[in-house]
C-alpha cells in the first residue's frame, strides 16, 4: 500500500511539473496568436475584403483598440496575485488586530469600500477580506459556535481555509475565492485577478469576432472553390501562398471566436450569479442530490449589481470594461 501511495505521489508530482512547464509554453503561444491574428487581420484580411478606404481605416482602428485592451488585461492576469491564504501563525497575528465585535457586526465588507479589489498586488491580510470570508456555513472550511468563528487549516500548506478557499496542487497554495487554475496565464484565477481574466476573455472575443466577420466570406470562397465555383477570374489566386495564409488566419479567428465566446458567456453567468467554476460544479452535484421540491440556495448571491461589483470593482457599464479608470 505504501508503495502504491509513493507511486501515485510520483505521478502527481510529474504532472504538476509538466503543468508548470506547459504554462510557460502556453503564455508564449498566446502572445504569438495575438500577434499573428492582429497582423493578418490588419494587413491582409481587411485589405483583401474591404475596398472602401474609410471603412478599412475604421476597422483597423477598432481592431487596434480591441487588441490593446486584450494585451493590457492579459498582462494584468499574469502579474496580479490571485490572493493567497497565509499560514496559520501569521494569520492569527493579523486576526488579533481586529476585534470580534467588528467581525460579528459585519463591518469589514471591503477595505476602504472597494480598494481591496482594485489593488493589483495586494498584501493579503485576514482583516482585509470581505465579510463572507469570516462568515458562512461551509462545514469543510468554517465552524460557528456561540458567535465565534473557528477556521480549519489546510492539510497540505497549513494555511487557514476561509470559505471559498481551495488548495491548488500546481501552485501549492490555498487560493482565495479560487475559480480554477488556468495554464494560459500560468497561475490560478482567484479573488484579485478574476476581473482581469473575464476582461481578457471579453476583449479576445471581440478581437476574434471582428476578424471573423470578414474571414467567414473567405472560408465560403474556399469551400466554393473546392466545388469548382471560382469567385475570381484569376485561377492562380487560389494557389497563391498569401491567399492560403489568409484562409488559415480566417479559420483560426473563427475557431478562437467560438472558443473564447463560449468561455466568456460561461464566466459572465458565473459572475452574475456569484459562483466560481468549482462552486458551479459542486452546485450541479448538490442539485442532483436534492429532492424534487427542494431548491438550492446560493448564500453568496447578493443580487446582480452587487455580484458584479464584488468581482469587477464596479457594476457600471461600460466603465467595468476599462479597469484602468476605476
pLDDT for res 227: 64
- Dump the DSSP string for 121-144: S----GGGS-GGGT----TTTEEE
**E-assigned strands of 75-206?**
142-145, 148-151, 166-168, 173-175, 180-182, 187-189
pLDDT at residue 119, rounded to an integer: 43
Give the separation between CA 224 and CA 222, rounded to whole angstroms. 5
* CB contact at 8 A, 206 and 163: no
Cα dihedral across residues 57, 62, 67, 72: positive or negative: positive
Per-residue model confidence (pLDDT) at position 58: 97
Q: What are 249's three cell numbers?
A: 488566419
d(CA 189, CA 196): 9
**For residue 324, what pLDDT is reported?**
83
Q: Omega of the bond prior to 318 within 30 degrees of 0, cis?
A: yes
pLDDT of residue 228: 62
182 annotated active-site: yes
- Dihedral sign for Cα 172, 198, 80, 74, please: positive
Q: Crossing angle of helices 2-40/53-79, nearest 10°?
A: 150
pLDDT by 10s per residue, the chain, length 326: 456 555 655 665 565 566 666 778 899 999 999 999 999 999 988 988 888 999 999 999 999 999 999 999 999 999 999 998 877 654 454 544 444 443 333 333 333 333 433 444 443 333 334 444 444 334 333 333 333 444 678 888 888 888 889 999 888 889 999 999 999 999 999 999 999 999 999 999 999 999 999 988 877 877 776 666 665 545 555 556 567 777 888 889 999 999 999 999 999 999 999 999 998 888 877 776 666 656 677 788 888 999 999 999 998 888 889 988 87
Catalytic residue among 182, 188, 208, 324: 182
Helix-then-strand count for the chain, H and E:
10, 6
Amino acid at each position: 500500500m505504501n508503495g502504491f501511495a509513493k507511486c501515485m505521489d510520483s505521478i502527481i508530482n510529474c504532472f504538476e511539473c509538466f503543468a508548470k512547464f506547459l504554462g510557460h509554453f502556453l503564455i508564449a503561444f498566446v502572445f504569438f496568436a495575438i500577434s499573428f491574428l492582429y497582423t493578418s487581420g490588419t494587413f491582409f484580411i481587411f485589405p483583401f475584403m474591404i475596398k472602401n478606404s474609410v471603412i478599412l481605416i475604421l476597422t483597423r482602428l477598432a481592431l487596434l483598440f480591441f487588441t490593446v485592451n486584450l494585451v493590457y488585461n492579459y498582462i494584468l492576469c499574469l502579474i496580479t496575485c490571485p490572493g493567497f491564504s497565509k499560514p496559520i501563525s501569521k494569520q492569527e497575528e493579523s486576526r488579533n488586530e481586529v476585534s470580534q465585535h467588528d467581525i460579528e457586526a459585519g463591518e469589514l465588507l471591503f477595505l476602504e469600500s472597494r480598494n481591496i479589489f482594485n489593488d493589483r498586488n495586494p498584501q493579503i491580510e485576514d482583516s482585509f477580506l470581505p465579510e463572507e470570508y469570516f462568515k458562512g456555513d461551509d462545514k469543510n472550511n468554517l465552524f460557528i459556535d456561540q458567535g465565534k468563528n473557528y477556521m480549519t487549516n489546510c492539510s497540505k500548506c497549513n494555511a487557514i481555509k476561509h470559505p471559498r478557499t481551495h488548495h491548488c496542487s500546481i501552485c501549492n497554495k490555498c487560493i482565495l475565492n479560487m475559480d480554477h487554475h488556468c495554464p494560459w496565464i500560468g497561475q490560478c484565477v482567484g479573488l484579485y485577478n478574476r476581473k482581469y481574466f473575464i476582461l481578457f476573455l471579453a476583449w479576445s472575443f471581440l478581437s476574434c469576432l471582428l476578424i471573423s466577420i470578414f474571414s467567414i466570406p473567405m472560408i465560403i470562397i474556399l469551400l466554393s472553390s473546392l466545388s469548382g465555383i471560382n469567385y475570381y477570374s484569376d485561377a492562380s489566386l487560389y494557389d497563391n501562398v498569401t491567399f492560403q495564409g489568409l484562409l488559415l488566419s480566417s479559420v483560426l479567428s473563427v475557431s478562437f471566436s467560438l472558443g473564447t465566446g463560449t468561455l466568456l458567456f460561461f464566466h459572465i453567468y458565473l459572475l452574475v450569479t456569484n459562483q466560481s467554476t468549482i462552486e458551479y460544479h459542486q452546485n450541479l452535484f448538490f442539485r442532483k442530490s436534492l429532492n424534487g421540491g427542494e431548491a438550492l440556495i446560493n448564500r453568496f448571491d447578493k443580487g446582480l449589481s452587487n455580484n458584479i461589483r464584488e468581482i469587477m470593482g464596479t457594476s457600471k457599464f461600460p466603465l467595468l470594461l476599462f479597469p484602468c479608470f476605476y
